[in-house]
């Protein structure tokens, strides 16, 4: 009945059923909705209707709803539900989503929530939380269905039917041996295509691609992207199947990792979004800014040590921002190429050598072009041939230095297993300020007597 | 047999079968491999073996292989195959991948490839290529299976079995009415769980979420992420089902869009990766750099107009790079927050007002903190209280201006439907250079007689 209604009309209808206490009509509508839509309606609902809304929802829908909400909303919802109902809802949530919620709570709050859950479920969540953040172990779920290779297709489907509510959208059944080792995989598609009496052994795919439980989540995402998988099995060191990572989580990872790269490249600090409060956002941005302020003062120190040169040829100051800016810009460009390239490439010595040589070539090409251009402009503007030559020559060298700094610094960080994106744009820019001022005033001082 | 072999061992074994002309063994191995692995082996293969490798592959594997390769490799492969075989392979490729390849070819080359294909397939591809780039129509595939609502589950599965090779990994069957309008969807999971004699009508989900054929690909990705769908149906203005977008394409879109944002934020120009040739990379980066060079000269022009001030208090130059740098940095931070936020938020006036006010608050907080810090440092370093006050006061104002510029400029671009990421970090930095110099020297000139 609701299929042609807009989101707003549905919300109004839901409010009507709540006011008139019509649970059957309420449930009929909710059943037609996706979890995302249920969450939207819950968020739009006036506060006074929320209690009955939650009262009317079944536990599995509540669990789905929880998974769509932000942390604060989740905690608020659990408060509204009370301890006992909370436990039942948490039992039904995907382990990885639950681990994410619990991870940021105080130990007392965490224990209180875990104590309301079934022992097996709370143990599963605790298990996940023992793995380091951003690894396969941390983002996997235990909501998968395993079968044995001597099952017939009919038996596999029977088992699947029993556990279907439990293993919602996985699209593969995993085949394990008596030691729970992963030995094969069959897709729902394979099951539909096979005859009921065929053995799983004959239709299963044996060369299963899996990831170790300690694999970085970026590696997991890379595998899913390469192989177009809808889920990837996670195994421990003995090849025992311990969980799966599903494609919806992988999309979330890809988005999160890209955002993190952008945050780091812009040194905007961890997780500032539209909802972050002013003081929190300022506090997250300040540490980098203060560090950069001090590095910026080094530039000042360099200029002050060339005070005599500057005093005698004030025109040198006119080109300072341009030279520093250009060096910073070319560095940022190289940095972006390297940071994103590292994500999609397998890195070896050959790749790195080729990349550094390429960027050196780019630096020289850009340097020659911009240097000639600026020499002519500086000569025309200031009517001083030597000044033009000094500015051009400086720009040539600083552009090469800037390009190489933007390339080599992130590569060195990567080599030492530090995320190369922490060599943020502003850091590279500020470092390049220093390099460029040293070069510029160094060259200018050498030619000082010709400049005056 | 190959399940425990490494990639290298498999490649060596493949070479062996090629040398010894053992097609059966060759095919047995290939059948066990994923398209990504087949592509890796093909790429690693010595050139002299490639012809027979291609000769041994079946058409459907060739089509899968094509989809894994880069454009240049695809064209090389088609050349090796010859016109007639090429046509058959292209017939089997996913339309969207094929459209992507054809899109970048010369009209003659395109026509020659299309002419080797079946009429219905070439028409389908031409249809896709009529949609604007980066829309749902351009990335959809027509390889889906439709059923009617009066089918029984058994009939649906029968039809699916016939078309299974054609519709590989979609996980949903779409239900259409006699006018081909989309009226429902059933998943493979629904089919496995249902009884054979049940009617599709009774198990199908009627409130199908679909996207219009003209929707931006970012919107499609957002839908898939919100609803955790494995495929999204694409409909025309009459709700007629014209194609589907699958989750593997959605992951590719998410990665591509994130990379584009980073490229634009760093002004590194379009698509430079590790393989881009030196001169091409330099040529792509130069336009922005030359533009920024001229904008940088405006800074020089500003300084030169304050030449008298600078000549009298050379120490002012010491703080120039720091002030300009800090203004640029805070602007870049705000920019990154806004650009990424725009992707995941629905934007209205309320959101924008709140965001601008928040960033104003952040600017003031950061401004006060850094201004106090730098006033003290400047006073201690130069022993001049007024100089300290001028520097601090300037930094306070420029940090607020920088933060707001980094927030408002991308929002204005967004308002005028220009991608906000073109307000790249370097552009914001360079603009902020100008703002900060004007503020700094303006304030300094006002206090000039106290400074000396």
User: What's the pLDDT tens digit per position in B387-425?
Assistant: 899 999 999 999 999 999 989 988 888 888 776 665 566
Interface with A, mutate which of B68, B295, B317, B327 (most A CBs under 10 A): B317
Of A255, A343, A248, A216, residue with least CA distance to B258: A255
Instruction: Report the chain A residue with the minimal C-alpha distance to residue B172.
Output: A189
- CATH number of the domain encompassing residue B81: 1.25.60.10
Asked if the Cβ–Cβ distance from B332 to A268 is below 8 Å, we say yes
Q: Which residues in chain A land under pLDDT 50?
A: none
CA atoms within 13 A on the CB side of B33: 25
Residue of B34, B289, B333 to mutate, testing the A interface (most A Cβ within 10 Å of its Cβ): B333
Judge whether residue B386 has pLDDT over 90. no
Identify all chain B residues contacting A279, using CB atoms and an 8 Å cutoff.
Answer: 361, 365
CB contact under 8 A, A365 and B279: yes
Chain centroid offset of residue A253 CA? 5
The Cα–Cα gap between B433 and B451 comes to 23
- Please name the member of A193, A224, A355 whose beta carbon is closest to the beta carbon of B164: A193
Quote the pLDDT of residue B413: 82
Q: Which two tokens stand for residue B133?
A: 């780039």
CA distance A370 to chain B (A): 7
Residues of A in contact with B328 (CB under 8 A): 328, 426, 429
A11 CB-side CA count, 13 A: 15
- In this structure, what CATH number is given to the domain that contains residue B165? 3.10.580.10
Question: Which pLDDT value is given to residue A334?
Answer: 86
B361 and B221 within one domain: no
**Cβ atoms of residues A403 and A366 within 8 Å:** yes
Size of interface A-B (CB pairs under 8 A): 354
Residue B124: predicted pLDDT: 83
Domain boundary among B262, B286, B315: B262
**A271 within a domain of the structure (yes/no):** no
In terms of DSSP bridges, do strands A182-187 and A172-176 run parallel, antiparallel, or are they unpaired? antiparallel
How far apart are the CA of B119 and the nearest CA of chain A, in angstroms? 29
Q: Looking at CA atoms only, how far is residue B112 from chain A in angstroms?
A: 30
If asked whether residues B308 and B401 sit together in one domain, one would say: yes
Same domain, B315 and B257: no
Query: Edge to edge, what strands does the sheet with B211-212 contain?
Result: B211-212, B231-235, B241-246
Claim to verify: residue A256 and residue A121 sit in the same structural domain: no
Contacts of A6 in chain B (CB under 8 A): none
Per the CB < 8 Å rule, is A328 touching B206? no
**Bridge partners of residue B402, in order along the sequence:** none
Cβ within 8 Å, pair A274-B354: yes
Q: List chain B residues with CB under 8 Å of A205.
A: 32
- The tens digit of pLDDT for each residue in B284-343 reads 788 878 888 888 888 888 888 888 888 888 888 888 888 888 888 888 888 888 877 776
Label residue B269 by pLDDT band (50, 70, 90): low
- Beta A211-212 vs A231-235: how paired, if at all? parallel
Contact, A437 vs A415, CB < 8 A?
no
d(C-alpha A251, C-alpha A228), whole Å: 12
Contact A395, A329 (CB under 8 A): no
Q: Which residue of B has its CA nearest to A259?
A: B340
Distance CA B108, CA B95 (A): 19
Q: What integer is the mean pLDDT of B204-228?
A: 87
- Answer yes or no: do A187 and A102 share one domain: no
Instruction: Provide the pLDDT for residue B231.
Output: 87
Q: How many domains does chain B have?
A: 3
CB contact under 8 A, B296 and A325: yes
Q: Residue A150 corresponds to which tokens in the numbers above?
A: 């001597």
Contact call for residues A283 and B283 (beta carbons, < 8 A): no
Contact A319 B332 (CB under 8 A): no
- B141: which DSSP letter? B
Closest Cα in chain B, distance from residue A107 (Å): 31
pLDDT band at B85 (very low <50, low <70, confident <90, very high): confident
Under the banding of pLDDT at 50, 70 and 90, the label for residue B218 is confident
Does A121 fall in a domain? Answer: yes
In this complex, the residue of B292, B299, B345 whose CB is nearest that of residue A329 is B292
Among B3, B251, B314, select the one facing A250 at the smallest CB separation: B251
Q: Which residue in B141, B124, B238, B240 sits closest to B182, CA to CA?
A: B240
- Residue B254 has its nearest CB partner, among A228, A255, A322, at A255
B192 → closest Cβ in A191, A254, A335: A191
Identify which of B191, B336, B344 has the shortest CB distance to residue A268.
B336
Contact A321 B303 (CB under 8 A): yes
The Cα–Cα gap between B114 and B95 comes to 12
| Contact call for B332 and A362, based on CB within 8 A | no
Q: Name the residue of chain B whose CA is nearest to A318's CA.
A: B300
Contacts of A374 in chain B (CB under 8 A): 293
For helices B119-129 and B95-103, the axis angle rounded to 10 degrees is: 70
> Which residues are paired to A186 by β-bridges?
A173
Which residues of B fall within a CB distance of 8 Å from A248?
Answer: 225, 228
Looking at residue A266, its pLDDT comes to 67
Give, rounded to a whole angstrom, the gap between the first and last alpha carbons of chain A: 86
Listed residue (B435, B336, B339) closest to B394, CA to CA: B435
User: Which residue, of A72, A100, A134, is where some domain finishes?
Assistant: A134
Taking contacts as CB-CB distances below 8 angstroms, the residues of chain B near A161 are 192-193
Residue A189 within any structural domain of the chain: yes
Look at residue B371 and tell me whether its pLDDT is greater than 90: yes
Nearest to B426 among A314, A321, A329 (CB): A329
A355 contacts on B by Cβ (under 8 Å): 274
pLDDT tens figures, A362-421: 999 999 999 999 999 988 888 888 889 999 999 999 999 999 998 998 888 888 877 666
Residue B192: Cβ-neighbour burial (10 angstroms; 0-12, 13-18, 19+): middle
A442 min Cα distance to partner chain B (Å): 16
Flag whether B140 is in a domain.
no
| Structure-block tokens of residue B367 | 């401004």
CATH code of A424's domain = 1.10.357.20
CA dihedral A150, A154, A159, A163 (to 10 degrees): 140
> For residue B2, which residues of chain A lie inside 8 Å, CB to CB?
207
Domain match, B424 and B325 both: yes
Chain A residues within an 8 Å CB radius of B272: 337
Q: Are residues B31 and B176 in the same domain?
A: no
| pLDDT given for residue A420 in this prediction | 65
Closest CA to B138 of B125, B152, B151, B122: B125
Alpha carbon distance B68, B451 (integer Å): 67
Give the dihedral of Cα atoms B131, B132, B137, B143; nearest 10 deg: 70
Which pLDDT score is estimated for A372?
A: 93
Q: Mind spelling out the 3-state secondary structure of B145-162? A: CEECCCCEHHHHHHHHHH
Any domain includes A140: no
Q: What is the distance of C-alpha A299 from the center of its chain? A: 34
User: A216: exposed, middle or buried (C-beta count within 10 Å: 0-12, 13-18, 19+)?
Assistant: middle
Cβ atoms A291, A426 nearer than 8 A: no
Cβ contacts of residue B252 below 8 Å, gap of 6+? Answer: A225
Q: Do A164 and B374 touch (CB under 8 A)?
A: no
Nearest CA to CA, how far is B383 from chain A (Å)?
14
Domain containing B61 equals: 7-132
CB B139 within 8 A of CB B234: no
**Could you tell me if residue A1 is inside a domain?**
no
A319 lies in the same domain as A445 = yes
The dihedral over CA atoms of B75, B77, B79, B80, expressed in degrees to the nearest 10, equals 170
| A300, A325, A365 ranked by CB distance to B278: nearest | A365
Bridge partner residues of A232 (DSSP): A245
Nearest to B320 by CA among B427, B439, B448, B452: B439
Tokens 């990572």 appear where?
Answer: A245
Residues A98 and A167 in one domain: no
String of DSSP letters for B332-363? HHHHHHHHHHHHHS---HHHHHHHHHHHHHHH
pLDDT digits (tens, 9 = 90+) for B106-135: 888 888 888 888 888 888 888 888 888 889
Task: Read off the tokens for B342.
Answer: 């725009």
Do B173 and B186 touch, CB atoms closer than 8 A? yes
Q: Are residues B121 and B191 in the same domain?
A: no
SS3 A360: helix
At A6 the pLDDT is: 80
Lowest mean per-residue pLDDT among A179-188, A391-400, B206-215, B274-283 = B274-283
With a cut of 70, say whether residue B262 has pLDDT above it.
yes
Q: Do B366 and A297 touch (CB under 8 A)?
A: no
- Same domain flag for A282 and A394: yes
- Residue A82 CA to residue A113 CA, distance in Å, equals 10
Residue closest to B355 by CA, chosen among B366, B368, B344, B341: B341
- Domain shared by B201 and B235, yes or no: yes
pLDDT at A452: 67
CA–CA separation, A142 and A128 (whole Å)? 9
Q: Which of B102, B132, B162 is the last residue of a domain?
A: B132
The CA-based angle B108-B109-B115, given to 5 degrees, is 85
In a domain, A249, yes or no: yes
Report yes or no on B139 lying in a domain: no
On chain B, the residues whose CB falls within 8 A of the CB of A282 are 361-362, 365-366, 369
Instruction: For the sheet with A231-235, list strands across it.
Output: A211-212, A231-235, A241-246
* Pick from A33, A323, A366: CB nearest B286: A366
């Amino acid at each position: 009945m609701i299929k042609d209604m807009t989101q707003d009309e549905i919300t109004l209808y839901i409010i009507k059923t709540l006011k008139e206490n019509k649970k059957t009509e309420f449930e009929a509508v909710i059943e037609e909705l996706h979890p995302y839509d249920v969450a939207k309606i819950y968020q739009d609902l006036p506060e006074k209707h929320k209690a009955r809304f939650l009262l009317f929802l079944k536990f599995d829908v509540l669990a789905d709803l929880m998974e769509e909400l932000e942390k604060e909303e989740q905690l608020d919802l659990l408060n509204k539900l009370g301890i006992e109902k909370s436990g039942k809802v948490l039992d039904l949530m995907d382990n990885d989503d639950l681990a994410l919620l619990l991870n940021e709570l105080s130990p007392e709050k965490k224990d209180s929530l875990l104590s309301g859950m079934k022992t097996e479920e709370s143990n599963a969540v605790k298990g996940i939380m023992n793995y380091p953040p951003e690894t396969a172990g941390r983002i996997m779920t235990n909501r998968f269905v395993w079968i044995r290779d001597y099952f017939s297709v009919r038996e596999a489907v029977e088992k699947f039917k029993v556990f279907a509510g439990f293993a919602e959208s996985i699209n593969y059944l995993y085949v394990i041996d008596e030691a729970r080792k992963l030995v094969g995989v069959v897709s729902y598609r394979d099951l539909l295509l096979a005859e009921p009496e065929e053995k799983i052994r004959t239709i299963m795919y044996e060369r299963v691609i899996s990831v170790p439980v300690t694999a970085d989540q970026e590696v997991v995402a890379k595998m899913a992207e390469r192989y177009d998988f809808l889920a990837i099995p996670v195994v421990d060191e003995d090849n025992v199947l311990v969980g799966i990572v599903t494609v919806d989580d992988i999309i979330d990872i890809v988005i999160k990792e890209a955002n993190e790269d952008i945050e780091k490249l812009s040194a905007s600090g961890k997780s500032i979004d539209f909802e972050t409060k002013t003081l929190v956002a300022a506090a997250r941005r300040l540490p980098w800014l203060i560090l950069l302020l001090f590095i910026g003062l080094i530039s000042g120190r360099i200029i002050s040590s060339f005070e005599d040169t500057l005093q005698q040829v004030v025109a040198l100051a006119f080109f300072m921002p341009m030279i520093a800016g250009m060096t910073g810009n070319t560095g940022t460009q190289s940095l972006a190429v390297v940071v994103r390239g590292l994500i999609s490439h397998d890195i070896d010595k050959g790749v790195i050598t080729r990349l550094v040589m390429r960027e050196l070539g780019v630096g020289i090409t850009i340097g020659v072009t911009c240097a000639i251009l600026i020499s002519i402009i500086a000569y025309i503007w200031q009517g001083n041939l030597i000044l033009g030559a000094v500015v051009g020559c400086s720009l040539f060298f600083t552009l090469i230095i800037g390009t190489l700094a933007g390339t080599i610094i992130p590569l060195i960080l990567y080599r030492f297993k530090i995320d190369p994106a922490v060599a943020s744009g502003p850091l590279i820019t500020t470092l390049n300020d220093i390099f460029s001022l040293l070069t510029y005033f160094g060259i200018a001082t050498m030619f000082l007597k010709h400049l005056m």
